[in-house]
Structure 1
């Protein structure tokens, strides 16, 4: 998903390339009695939501690049470029053709990649993993298992294959003949853990409950498109339990906890808000005066939340004191009544 977002960012960035690199009075087009200038173009597009989002992203990425970009090497950028190129090819797209369509050179795109890497570095620099974070990661963690899978498109096919296996059919042979998964050439052999993205959550959860040698019932899951159902039959080859000791898996758990932090929108917004404040960002163009509002609201919301919590605590204390006072009064009144009756 991140790789797809990087490609999408290329198109967004190109909107302001013309305005940024040209004089505002330069003509874009001319016709009888009229011209369209770069300034005309800018006035036309600057109010759009896409432009607002683009300027916001440009500010955020520039702030992070200035602070963390010095730690990003050309080697890091080239590695990310190669990964993105490979991902684009897997999606049936040539990166070079895509960049050409967007009016971007390889150098332009690598500049964006460096900004992305600096942004990631800035977020990671603020991640603090606590014991509680590790415990949360441990709760859903399962070590890598070895298994075989067969995937088919319909429930009827899955049920038929399950019956064939129950009657003594060879899992490896059937996987090679009938599975739709890329692993079919290896007889369905796969390895995955609780964090693997290649196997749907429903299939993983069912697999982790299997003992070595057991074969699951057909499992309905959603394929990688997120729209179509696919049916899994899983044979567990080697299921390693995690036991009760987190220590051997501490490295994996820290990575899981870090990823959880980085995917938490409140955490990301707070880091961005703090970075913008530290950089003392000032908006000079009124057309974009509200562009950073989401992050300023995050800061205000946090302050309001703290104030609200303090107010609740204060209110609670007052109620407790009032309750104690009332109880004392009732006790005193009761005592006086008893004395009077005597």
Structure 2
């Protein structure tokens, strides 16, 4: 996820630079005793770099996909994903994460929206077999509610578990050991999620789905973001019929397909077909090759 976010930051900077250049012409960016660098010189250098071409390609892809599939992504779905991710960090760590990534909350939400638009585009052009759906349903875990202590350290997480083991109430232990987290309830309870929800850390899901109701993790759970948790499984819904969750299963399979690096060629093929349908015409000769990998794949 960090790598994707870095690319979003580069893209935002690149777009801002192009817009400013269009308005300001070739203004001077820096002066030295040995000469100056103008905006046009900077732009020429960036667009000929590998990173610049990749960012340009992503800008074009986002533009094409957003026009066709952007209406399928709502502000509500973006906010839900944002809040679920934020809930696993705690307020201070999430701010630190955004700062380290060089992003504002608005930019981070935009990156989530771009990803959801990509998922909508792939889902519309990716065939999922009945066997894959059946297997996904067999492994499906229904909506589960948990309470989460986001500890400052592994030692604090263990101390919280020890306190619970000694008979202290969850509420008291949560107040003492969990970091401030405005994205969850006052006792750390998160919104219900099922096994198709990839916004919840895989280690948290694993702990939650393998415990009985009312049971908390016997050892600190280390999330992929480095935070240590105590996970309590509060309740789990009955497993619904496959037809009731089929759309969720398809979304999960699509997301898995996108995130699997072995499917890069297949992804490029899908995107290439969409670019051809959109009649993309690159005017700048230095950037014409930026999309060639998608056209040859399709």
Please report the TM-score for the alignment, with normalisation by the length of structure 1.
0.59
Distance in 2, Cα, partners of 1:167 & 1:11 = 53
Equivalent residue, structure 1, for 2:126: 127
Equivalent residue, structure 2, for 1:235: 232
**TM-superposed deviation, 1:230:** 1.0
Which of 226, 248, 252 is the equivalent residue of 1:252? 248
Q: Any unmatched runs of 5+ in structure 1? A: 100-109, 300-342
1:9 is aligned to 2:11: yes
Equivalent residue, structure 1, for 2:51: 50
**TM-superposed deviation, 1:214:** 2.6
Q: Is the 8 A contact 2:211 2:233 kept in 1?
A: yes
Equivalent residue, structure 2, for 1:187: 187
Distance in 1, Cα, partners of 2:115 & 2:166 = 54
**TM-superposed deviation, 1:58:** 4.2
Taking CA–CA contacts closer than 8 Å with sequence separation of 6 or more, which of the two structures ends up with the larger relative contact order? Answer: 2
Q: Describe how 1:256-275 pairs up with structure 2 within 5 A.
A: 256-263=252-259, 265-275=264-274
Distance in 1, Cα, partners of 2:62 & 2:189 = 42
Equivalent residue, structure 2, for 1:28: 27
Aligned length: 270
The SS at the match of 2:179 is coil
Q: Is the 8 A contact 1:215 1:236 kept in 2?
A: yes
Distance in 1, Cα, partners of 2:289 & 2:156 = 55
The SS at the match of 1:235 is strand
Q: Is the 8 A contact 2:11 2:59 kept in 1?
A: no
Based on CA coordinates, which of the two structures has the bigger radius of gyration? Answer: 1
1:68 is aligned to 2:65: no
**TM-superposed deviation, 1:212:** 2.2
Q: Is the 8 A contact 1:154 1:230 kept in 2?
A: yes
Equivalent residue, structure 1, for 2:169: 170
Distance in 1, Cα, partners of 2:158 & 2:37 = 65
Distance in 2, Cα, partners of 1:35 & 1:199 = 49
Q: Is the 8 A contact 1:13 1:54 kept in 2?
A: no
Give the aligned CA root-mean-square deviation in angstroms: 4.7
